[in-house]
Every structure is written in structure tokens, then in C-alpha cells.
Amino acid sequence: AADPAVCAAALQLISLRCERLLDPLATAPRAFRPQLWRACALEPKLLGDRRDSVLGEFSKVAPRTAKGSGPRRGGSVAAQRRGSAASRRGSAAAAAAEAAARLLGTDVDSLVRAVTTRKVVTVGEEIIKPMAPDAATASKDALAKFLYQRTFDWLVARINTTIGQDASAQCFIGVLDIYGFESFETNSFEQFCINLANEKLQQHFNGHVFKKEQEEYEKEEIDWSYIDFVDNQDVLDLIEKRLGIVAILDEQCVFPKADASTLAESLYSRFTGKDKGANDPTDRFSKPKRSNLQFTIRHYAGDVTYSTDYFLEKNKDYLVPEHQAMLEASSADHVRELFPKPEPEPDHKPGKAGGRGGKRGGFKFSSVATNFKRSLVALMETLHATEPHYVRCIKPNMAQRPADFEPANVLHQLRCGGVLEAVRISCAGYPSRRYFHEFVARFKMLAREKADAAGSDDRKAAAAVLADLEERITDIEGYQLGKSKVFLRAGQMAVLDKLRSEMMHKAATAIQKNVRRQIAQKSYHEVKEANLVMQKYTRGMLARRRAAHLRAIKAALYVQTCWRRWLAMRNLRVHRDAAIRVQANYRGHMARKAARAQRRDLAALRIQSRWRGSTTRASYQRKRQATITLQCALRARKARDELKKRKAEARERGALEGAKKSLEARLEQMQFQIELQRKLKEEAIAERTREVEQANRVMEEQLARAKEEQERAVARAKAEAEAKALAEANDAAALAAAEAEREAANGRIAVLQADRDNLAARVEMLEGKLKEADERAANAEAGKRDADERVRSIGDSLKELEAHNRGLAEENYMLKAKAQLSGGGGGGGGTDGGGARRALLGGAAADAGEALALRARRSSTFGAMERAADVEALLGCVGGDVGFSAEGRPVAAVLVFKSLMHWRSFEADRTNVFDRVIMVISSAVDQHTDDNRTLAYWLTNTSTLLHLLQRTLRTSGAGGGAARSRSRSINLLRRWKDSFTGPGGMAAPPPAPGAGSPIKDGGEMVVEAKYPALLFKQQMTAFVEKIYGLLRDNVKKDVTPLLQQCIQAPKPDRRGASKSGAADGAQWSGIVGHLDTLLETLRANHVPAFLTDRLLKQVFSFMNVQLFNSLLLRRECCSFSNGEYVKTGLAELESWVHKAGDASDGSGGVWDELKSIRQAVTFLVIHQKPKKSLDEITHDLCPTLSIQQLYRISTMYWDDRFNTETVSAEVLGNMKMQMQEENASTHSNSFLLDDDNQIPFTIEELSKQFGDLQGESDDVVVPQALGELPEFEFLKAQGA
């Protein structure tokens, strides 16, 4: 049971102010803090699992008591309702209303409506009537009192329940703590109620004392007379009777215009008027002379003057139906518990519901004084049914100082508390009483002979003792003997105690005399014996002193001898040390002299060697620089000769092509050599690393085996030697064999050490080769730089040669045209005719040149505008969902690729077509990041377009062979030639600079891509990875809530059904449904099977990580029944995987991603775990799981169905040893799995999975929006 002080401290927490509620220990009075500490320490015990409810109650009480907060501003709320909505919302009253509504679990409008309006019920309708500000303030105060009362009652009930009070118990122990009568300068309604309770308790106390005395006398059957005591029933009648003060107070509370003055006048007219004799016969009520609002009651403890101010307000206890309805509908559970729905009341007749004609509802009046009187009646009934014991606490002084006693104050407290009256009642009878055996045991010594003569009858013995004392002492008279006790008058017990003390004093004196005599005798004998001992030790001391003197003389002689010897030895050591120091200094001088000479010689040799090395290096540098200069001059001369030679050869067309071929061949050869050197370097480094690691591993294994063999041989030899020694056999042979084996083991160790030395030498050799490879690589890098410079110079030469080649081609074309004109004109005509033809040829050539230049200018001016319109039309079409072809090819990707190929955008140095395409795709993806269907559609298009780019585009510097270079040269010349004559012999515009046509490379179209095209390819790669990641994250987000529920089986309730109300396995079915939806979406959008397989594998890997980590982190999941539940769900997933694999989507391999959770669940549900060995567990049952994971599952396992045990202690010990070894060798010992969020494929892998789209893409149907445009006729031509 809880301490009463703790209960009082818990109750005090409610009545503190808001700041003390928030921190009661810091702001409570110093004298009250120990009880608060104990209350806070017992808070979990008092409140239990309802701690949140208690904090909710404190949060409601705090706004009521805080300064300027909570419902105390209800009046201002009512006043603010007349303002505009904006001002009311921004006012302090609105903030207070919002805070109160939040704490009470209701909305602001309901709270304001309940406080500021009243519902008037008439016949057939209800009227909502606003209240005046004063009425709203009263309504607010009523709500606060109502809330405080219910909270206080709830806390008291919780404390009574916590301390273990049993309502059905027949016996109990209760503590009633009350302060006492209160009388202050101003006494109000509270002091009136407290003094009424004290009057009641004082009446019960007087009656109980009198009744107890009477029962005691009647039980012992002694003669006694009635004892008169003061009765305060007249005070109680004045207050409680039918027309008493409480009744008049309740009557005044009913009147709407009653106040303190009307109450005082009613009391004066009732108890001081003409009927005073009948209403107050004992003159307990009086009116003060100088006040018309006060009255005086003569209580048991004295006169107390009460002020009628606030009597009516404090006595009213309104229960507003609107408040009750609002609090019943609260969203907070603890508020609804405090204000349950009341029992339905019987219908009242019209006209008695309060008001006129039953048309008015509102306050339901309840008197505080009447309720308090009922509580007092119930308390008195409880006290009358129990056996009370009274404890009176006296306050020694009002200043609370130690060792300070105020007699007047204490006497007043004793008189007010009825203690003096109780003592008077007790002294009027027989206050001193003892049982017979106690009396005889205590006072038998006063008349021992007569008491012994009475025998074993205690009553007779007590009577004999009292009779003897009565004869000798006149004060012992008027006593009586009951059945079991002796009853004495006041003061007689003190006389008996005094006689007993005197007799005890005499007996103590006799005992002290005898004890002192015995102590003196004992002391004399001890002194005598000590004297003899002292004499003996004195004689011994004198003898020892004589012997010490003789020994001192002998010691002095010995000291003198030692002193003389020490002086001689000291002189010897001084001379010897001096000689040694002289020798040491001389030898050191000679040694330092020799060292200086040696250092001087060495310095001279070092200077000479460095000087010779410097001169040699300088000579070598001069010769090397001269050689390099000579080589450069020779090479420059040869290069100039070669340049002259090549310039001469460049005048002819065949020589030019040969030079280009040779230069390109040399360039490719140099690139090949550089690449080969790089690969050789990497292979050498990798080979050296592998050989070093292999050598170290082999050497460590051989050394370990050798050590183990040696230890086994030594142990075997020792064991055999001990066995043979015990058998008393000849151990010489065994020792020889053991020695031979030890020598053999040493030999093997020596061989292994030799192997280790060989391996070390081999490692050094490999390091040397690596250094040589590094040097070769450095030389190759230098050669590469030289080759790059030469390539740049050759490129410049090629540009000049190409310009020259174009001039030669133009000249050749003009010559051919002249020849055709001269041949077609016939042989007629002479000199004039030939001149005319030449003039005509010159004019035609000039006209052709002008037309060519005009077409080039027009194409360069209007080409960009026409291309921008075509791009807008294309992007407007493919920006939506244009679907797929009959073979499942994405139409948008194929259209974009064909258009870019036709426009030769991949060969352009500058273009914004790629940026427009990227913007369209990015806009479509960003607007539908949560739509898996849209993401799947764009994943198919972007991956297909990326595959086409990967297969078609080639970089210009990657090398394509001499054939490709030759084809580029031929195509360049052909395009230049065709630019003069288009189809049908018409002149065609020249191509844009740097443009070229696709090249057939192994049956595939290959385009030399420029930088924008390569950048577009990289952006498409990023888009494929982004869309794939978004689609994967959406699937993970959908299955994550279901995975949290799948890891643990639903627990059944008392009726046998699961708590969630759903059948077991509903979460797994939900996951399967999500997977079916995902697979259908991917199939509908023709996502490649390779991407589908990778996506499902990552989703299943995520499910494996989540389920497995949850299993390891939650012990309630590592049970037998939970393992069966997870195993059933995994079976559903397995059936789905097989069904999806049969559909030929490539999803059959995703089942292996769940191997960790599958093996863990198999371990949970397997039987006879203690019989399994560690080898069976790690190799047969759970080969994938680590030792840490197996140890975690084994220690957390518990069988909630068959109550079986986990693995044996031996297996756990082996697991622990392996864990320690692995922890020592590795840095990480985490047993959890990590989720892999990387992209699980590369562009090369994705491109390999696609088929031949070149032929299939030609069958794509052109959308109608593009088919109607003449600029996209090439799409139809390609499809045909």
C-alpha cells in the first residue's frame, strides 16, 4: 500500500499552479519536496499503463491554473464573438480557445459554442441563444470547476485502486487526516465546510471516548457513576437541520438575483429575529456589530466569524448539458473516460424543468454544501462501523523553529482539539488500570510475603498487595478490582510507582555495596601479584644493563679497528684512481688523434671521388647533348629531304593516295603499339601481383603444414614414448624413431625455407621485369606524344593536300567537259569555230559556278529554319504515347533514330536537335515519376534508342582500318563530284562541311559521330539508368509496408481470429498481386526481357534483405510458428516465380535471390536441432549464411509450439570460436545484409541482349501526323 504522504503529494500535484505542474520538484515548498520525490518515484506504480492519461489530465488542469491562459479567458472569447472573423482569429482569446480545444480533444467552434451559447428547448423546437459576457464567464468557470472535480475524483480513484483497496474486503485500515478548526481574519465558505467537518469529528470523538469508558466499566463489572461531557449537537443542528444555515444557503443559490447581502439578511432574520428561541436556543449564532455581511458561530473550539462574500458562488456546482455533450464527444480517450454518458433521467412534467413552462434548458444546479454534508454523513457511517484510534498532532510554535515551545499556543490547540475534555472525562473515572498479572509482576515487591501466600491466583495476589498498602499508606483508597484488571483513581499509580522506586533504590544500594567489596578484594590481589612481577623484571633489567656495558666496550674496540682499516683502504683507492685517470686520458688522446687522421683521409677520398664523378658526368652530358643536336640536325635534314620528295610526289594523284595510305597505316601501327604496350604493362602488373600472392599463399601453407607436421610428430613421439615407458618396454627405439621423425620434419622445414627463398628471389626478378615494363611504357608514352605531334602535323599537311586535290579535281572536270564539247561539235569549223566553243565553255563554267554558289548560300540560310520545323513536328508526335509495332518495337525510338540518321545530325559539329529530344523525354518522365506504366514505356524507348546509337555510332579517333580510311577518301571525292551533277544530270548542292554518309561495316550502318552525338549517347545512358531506378524504387515502396507485416505471423485474439481481422497470408497475397501488376505492366510496354530479369532480381534481393534483417533484429520473429508462416509465404512467391518463368520472361532465376531468408526459415522449422552438427548446418542446411548470422539465429530461436531446444551447447561454442577468429581477421562483424541499389547492367550487356533491329525497325508504321508531312517521306520510303 502507498504511504498517505505519497498519496497527499500526488493529490497536491493537481492543485499546484501551471508552472509547478511543469516542474513540481523545482518550485514546490521546501517542506513538501520529500513527499513530491516519493510521489514521483512511485509514479509508475500509482499510474501503471495509464501514465499518458494522467499526463493528459495534468495538461487540462495546467491551462486552468496558469496565468492568462486556458479557459480563464472564456469571457473574452464571448466578447470577441461580436467582432469580425479576422480579428477574432487573431486575438489572444482565439489562441486561448484553440489551446483549450486542443487539450480537451475538441474543435474550437464546439468549445466556443458550449461556453457562449445556451440551448433553449421549447415545444417542438430548439433555440440556440447567445449569452451575455457575465453569463459566459460563469459558464466558463462552471466548465473549469466541472473539469477539476472530475479530474480530482479520477485521481483519487486511481490512487485507491493502486494501493490495493479491495471493495469486497470485510476488514480494512484507513487513515483520516484533517487539519482541525480554522479561524482567520477573513473566513469564507471553505472554513465553514472545514469547521463543520471538525464539529462532526469532535462529536464522534467525545462520544467514542465516553462509550469506550462505559464499555470498559461494564465489562469489568465495577461500580461507577455517569460522567457528564460537553455535547455540540446544537451547533450541528444550527448548520444541518431542515431550516439551518446549509438549507438557507441552497435556497439563496436558487434565486437568480441573490447575493451576499440577501444571504446575510436571510440568516439574520432566521436566527436573530423573533423566532430566535426556537431556531437557536443555545445562542450559537450571532451578528457582528459593525458588519452586515458577516455572521458568527460559537463552535466547540471557539467563536468564528464568517463573511458571506462568495458564499453563493462557491456553493454553486453547475452541470451544463452543453459542456457534458461536448466532453462526451471528445477525441481524447481520457476525456471521454472522465465524462461518460449519464444515465437517462425520467421525463419531468412541463413547468418543472427549470424556467417557465419547461422552455429553458441550461444549468443543472447542485449544491456543494449539500454534497459535502452527504460526504460527512457517509464518513460518519464509516467511522461508526470501525474501531477508531485518535492521534492528536500539536504544533509547538508558529515560526517552525526547533526547541521552541509556546505554552499558550499549545494549550489553545489542546483545548480546540478536545484533548483537555477527553482528559477530564478520563480522570473522572478510573484512568489508571492494569491487568492482574501485570500489576502483580510490577508491584509484588511491595508486599512479597502476602503475595506469595496468595499462590498462583493473580487477582488474590493483587488484592493482598493493595490491602497491605492500604493499611500502611492512606493514599491508596477507592480502588476497585474488576474481572481482569485493577482500576485505580487518578494519582494512585504514581504513588505505587514511587514506593516501588524507593524499594528498588534500596535493593540497588545493597547490590552496589557487595559489588564494590568484591572489586576491592580483586584489586588488592592484583596489586600484590604485580609487585612481585615488577621486582623480578627489575633484577633482570639490571643484569642486562651490565651485560650491555661489556658488549659496548668490545664493540668500541672493533669499531676502532674497522676505522683504521677503512682509512688505509681509502688512501689506496685514491692513488689507484689517479693512476687510472692518467692512463685513460693518455689513451683517449692517442685514439682521438688516430680518428682525426682517418676522418681526414676519408674526406679527401670523398672529395676526390665526387670531383671525378662531376667531371665525368659533365663530359657525358656534353657528349650526349652534342649527339642529340647532331641527330636532330640529321633528322631535320632527312625530314626536309623527305618533305621535298613528298611535295614532288604530291603533284601526282596516285602518289598522294599512296602517301595518305602509308601515313594512316603508320598512325594505326603506332596506336596499336601504344595500346599493346599499355596492355603488356597491365598484364605484367597483374601477373606479378598474382605470382606474388600465389607465392606468399603457397609459402604460408607449406610453412603451416610443416609446423603442424612437426607438432604432430613431436606429440606422437611423446605419446608413444610415454606409452612404452608405462609398459616397461625398451624406450631406446622409440626415442630414436622420434628423433628421426624430428630430424625429418626439420629437413622438410629447411626445404620449405629454401622454397621460400626461391620464391623471394622470383619476386625480386618479377619486380625487375616490372620496372623494365614501366620503362618501356614510359618510352612508349614518349613515342606516343611524338606520334601525336606528327599526326597533327600530318593532319595539317592532309588539309593542304585535300585543298590541292579539290583544285586538281575541278581542273580535271573542266578538262573533261572541254573534251566532251570539242568531241560533240564535229570536225567542221576552223579557228573561229574553236574560239567560239572555248568561249561558250568558259561561259558555261562560269554560270555553273555561280549556280553552285547560290545553291550553297540558300541551303546554309534556310536549312536551319526548315530543320527546326521538322524537329518540332517529330517531337510533337513522339512526345505522347505512339505505341509499339506488331513485333513489339517502340515506334518513338525508331522514328527519332531514323530522322536523326536522315538529317545527318550525328555528323554535325553543332546542333540542338539532341537537346530538344532530351527535353521531351525528361519532361515526360518527371511528370510521371510514380506511374509505372509511363516509366516502363519510356524505359523501352530509351533502351532501344540507346542500343541503336551504340551499334551505329563510331568515334573518329577509335581507328577503323585502312579500308575505312580509303572508303572515306573515295566517298569524299564521290560526294564532291556528285555535287556538280545531281540526279538526272542536274546540279546538286554540296554537302555541309564535315558531313558524310553511313558506312557499311560488317553489314551494319556505321556513322562517324561528332561530339554532340557522343554527348547525346551519354545522356541516353543516364536516362535509361534513371528510369530503371525510378521504376525499381516505386516497386520497393509498394512492397515495403507489406514486408513489415510478412515477417511475423498475426497473433490470434481471444476468439481465435487474427487481430487484423484478415486471414493468414493476406500480406503475401498482396505482394504477389504487386508483382503480377508489375509483370503485366512490363509486358504491356514490351520492356526487354533482360531488363525485366534484372528488375525482378533486385526487387527479390530487396525483399530478401528486409525479411532477413527483420528476422535477425526481432526475437519474436525467430520462433517455430513464425518460421512456418514465412515459409508458407515464400512458397507462394516460389509458385509465382515458376509461373513467371514459364511465361519466358527471364524471371525464373530470381528465386535464388531469396536464398538467405529461405535458408534461415528452413533452419527455424527443422526438427531435432540439438542433434545437428556445425558441419551439417554450415554445408547442408545454411551454406549461404555466415557464422555470425547462424549464431544470432541459434541464440534468438524459441519454440512457441513444441517447446523444443535450439542447437547444442557444443555447436554454439564452436560458432563462437569461429566468430572470434573471423573477427580477429576481418574488420567488420556485422550480421545484417546490405541492399544493393546500383544499376545491375552495363550498356554493352544491354546492347548484346537486343536482336537485329535494323531490319525490324523498317516495318514500323509511321504515325498519321508525320505521314501527312512531305518532309517525312523518307520514313515511308524506308518502310517500303
Distances (CA, A) of 976 to 237, 656, 813, 818: 133, 17, 11, 19
Q: Which DSSP state fits 304?
A: E
- Alpha-carbon 970 to chain mean position: 71
Query: Who wins on pLDDT, 179 or 437?
Result: 437
Minimal CA–CA distance to 809: which of 587, 999, 974?
A: 974
Contact (CB, 8 A) for 733 and 725: no
DSSP 949-987: HHHHEEETTS--HHHHHHHHHHHHHHHHHHTTS-GGG--
- Pairing verdict, β 1004-1009 and 953-955: parallel
Q: Which DSSP state fits 1258?
A: G
Contact (CB, 8 A) for 192 and 314: no
- Per-residue pLDDT of 880-914, as tens digits, reads 888 888 778 888 888 888 888 888 888 888 888 88
Residue 570 neighbours by CB distance under 10 Å: 9
Residue 109 neighbours by CB distance under 10 Å: 10
Q: Which is it for the CA torsion 1221, 1223, 1225, 1231, positive or negative?
A: positive
DSSP 172-196: -------------SSB-HHHHHHHH
Among 644-648, 1036-1040, 1054-1058, the least confident range: 1054-1058
Q: Which DSSP state fits 91?
A: S
Query: In the structure, what pLDDT confidence band is assigned to residue 20 with cuts at 50, 70 and 90?
Result: very low
Q: Which DSSP state fits 430?
A: -
- Predicted pLDDT at 711: 76
The cell numbers describing 345, all together, are 433521467
The cell numbers describing 27, all together, are 518550485
Among 219-233, 811-825, 1125-1139, 1224-1238, the least confident range: 811-825
Examine the pLDDT at 27 and tell me if it is beyond 70: no
What mean pLDDT do residues 724-742 have?
55
Helix 1089-1113 crosses helix 1066-1084 at what angle (to 10 degrees)?
160
Q: In terms of residues, how long is the chain?
A: 1280
Among 241-255, 288-302, 409-423, 736-750, the least confident range: 736-750
β-bridge partners, 1052: 1058
Which residues, at least 6 apart from 450, have a Cβ–Cβ distance to it below 8 Å? Answer: 464, 465, 467, 468
Query: In the structure, what pLDDT confidence band is assigned to residue 262 with cuts at 50, 70 and 90?
Result: very high
Residue with cell 458562488: 313
- Predicted pLDDT at 596: 94
Which residues, at least 6 apart from 1103, have a Cβ–Cβ distance to it below 8 Å? Answer: 1039, 1043, 1071, 1153, 1154, 1157
Contact (CB, 8 A) for 1250 and 889: no
Query: Who wins on pLDDT, 981 or 168?
Result: 168
- Predicted pLDDT at 990: 38
- Per-residue pLDDT of 814-836, as tens digits, reads 555 555 544 444 443 443 444 44
Q: What is the CA radius of gyration of the chain?
A: 59
- Per-residue pLDDT of 683-717, as tens digits, reads 777 777 777 777 777 777 777 777 777 777 777 76
Query: In the structure, what pLDDT confidence band is assigned to residue 63 with cuts at 50, 70 and 90?
Result: very low
- Predicted pLDDT at 560: 94
- Predicted pLDDT at 962: 39
- Predicted pLDDT at 609: 93
Examine the pLDDT at 581 and tell me if it is beyond 90: yes
Examine the pLDDT at 937 and tell me if it is beyond 80: yes
- Predicted pLDDT at 741: 63
Residue 1026 neighbours by CB distance under 10 Å: 19
- CA neighbours within 13 Å on the CB side: how many for 403? 0
User: Distance (Å, rounded) from C-alpha 688 to C-alpha 762?
Assistant: 10
| Segment (H or E) for 434 | strand 432-435
- Predicted pLDDT at 279: 64
DSSP 1084-1138: HTT--HHHHHHHHHHHHHHHHHHHHHHHHH-GGGSBHHHHHHHHHHHHHHHHHHH
SS3 1008: strand
- Predicted pLDDT at 613: 93
- Predicted pLDDT at 1135: 87
- Predicted pLDDT at 278: 66
- Predicted pLDDT at 529: 93
- CA neighbours within 13 Å on the CB side: how many for 1096? 32
Query: In the structure, what pLDDT confidence band is assigned to residue 524 with cuts at 50, 70 and 90?
Result: very high
Residue 1079 neighbours by CB distance under 10 Å: 20
Query: Who wins on pLDDT, 1082 or 652?
Result: 1082
Which strands sit side by side in the sheet containing 1004-1009, from one edge to the other?
Answer: 953-955, 1004-1009, 999-1001
Query: In the structure, what pLDDT confidence band is assigned to residue 177 with cuts at 50, 70 and 90?
Result: confident
Distances (CA, A) of 981 to 841, 843, 1058: 17, 17, 87
Q: Which DSSP state fits 81?
A: T
SS3 66: coil
Minimal CA–CA distance to 21: which of 54, 45, 50?
A: 54
Examine the pLDDT at 548 and tell me if it is beyond 80: yes
Examine the pLDDT at 36 and tell me if it is beyond 60: no
Residue 389 amino acid letter: H
Examine the pLDDT at 110 and tell me if it is beyond 70: yes
Minimal CA–CA distance to 56: which of 314, 462, 336?
A: 336
User: Distance (Å, rounded) from C-alpha 366 to C-alpha 371?
Assistant: 8
> Among residues of the chain, what percentage have pLDDT more than 90?
12
Examine the pLDDT at 1254 and tell me if it is beyond 60: no
The cell numbers describing 726, all together, are 608405462
Residue with cell 518460421: 1123
> Exposed, middle or buried: residue 1200 (CB in 10 Å: 0-12, 13-18, 19+)?
exposed
Minimal CA–CA distance to 438: which of 484, 499, 482?
A: 484
The cell numbers describing 870, all together, are 521538322
> Exposed, middle or buried: residue 1123 (CB in 10 Å: 0-12, 13-18, 19+)?
buried
- Pairing verdict, β 485-488 and 303-307: unpaired
SS3 1006: strand
Contact (CB, 8 A) for 332 and 105: yes
> Exposed, middle or buried: residue 285 (CB in 10 Å: 0-12, 13-18, 19+)?
buried
Query: In the structure, what pLDDT confidence band is assigned to residue 813 with cuts at 50, 70 and 90?
Result: low
- Per-residue pLDDT of 1173-1183, as tens digits, reads 888 888 888 88
The cell numbers describing 1044, all together, are 513489415
Residue with cell 528486409: 1106
- Predicted pLDDT at 572: 94
> Among residues of the chain, what percentage have pLDDT more than 70?
71
Instruction: Pick the most confident of 143-147, 187-191, 744-748, 1255-1259.
Output: 187-191
User: Distance (Å, rounded) from C-alpha 472 to C-alpha 712?
Assistant: 110
Query: Who wins on pLDDT, 122 or 443?
Result: 443
Query: Who wins on pLDDT, 669 or 1138?
Result: 1138
- Predicted pLDDT at 812: 60
User: Distance (Å, rounded) from C-alpha 131 to C-alpha 933?
Assistant: 61
Contact (CB, 8 A) for 1033 and 1027: no
The cell numbers describing 26, all together, are 523545482
Query: In the structure, what pLDDT confidence band is assigned to residue 615 with cuts at 50, 70 and 90?
Result: very high
SS3 945: helix
Query: In the structure, what pLDDT confidence band is assigned to residue 652 with cuts at 50, 70 and 90?
Result: low
User: Distance (Å, rounded) from C-alpha 816 to C-alpha 828?
Assistant: 21
Examine the pLDDT at 669 and tell me if it is beyond 50: yes
Query: In the structure, what pLDDT confidence band is assigned to residue 1062 with cuts at 50, 70 and 90?
Result: very low
Q: Please provide the distance, in angstroms rounded to a whole number, between the alpha carbons at the two ends of the chain.
A: 99
- Predicted pLDDT at 220: 84
- Predicted pLDDT at 1017: 85
User: Helix/strand/coil (H, E, C) string of 216-258?
Assistant: HHHHHCCCCCCCCCCCCHHHHHHHHCCCCHHHHHHHHHHCCCC
Q: Which DSSP state fits 1188?
A: H
What mean pLDDT do residues 329-353 have?
67
User: Distance (Å, rounded) from C-alpha 1032 to C-alpha 1041?
Assistant: 16
Instruction: Pick the most confident of 325-334, 370-379, 404-413, 604-613.
Output: 604-613
User: Distance (Å, rounded) from C-alpha 754 to C-alpha 413?
Assistant: 109
What mean pLDDT do residues 12-24 have?
37
Contact (CB, 8 A) for 1206 and 1119: no
Examine the pLDDT at 41 and tell me if it is beyond 50: no
Residue 1124 amino acid letter: E
- Predicted pLDDT at 227: 67
Q: How many helices (H) and strands (E) does the chain have?
A: 45, 11
Q: What is the mean pLDDT of the chain?
A: 75
Examine the pLDDT at 414 and tell me if it is beyond 70: yes
- Predicted pLDDT at 989: 37
Query: Who wins on pLDDT, 543 or 1063?
Result: 543
Residue with cell 512526345: 879
User: Distance (Å, rounded) from C-alpha 185 to C-alpha 520?
Assistant: 73
Query: Who wins on pLDDT, 917 or 1276?
Result: 917
Examine the pLDDT at 1050 and tell me if it is beyond 60: yes
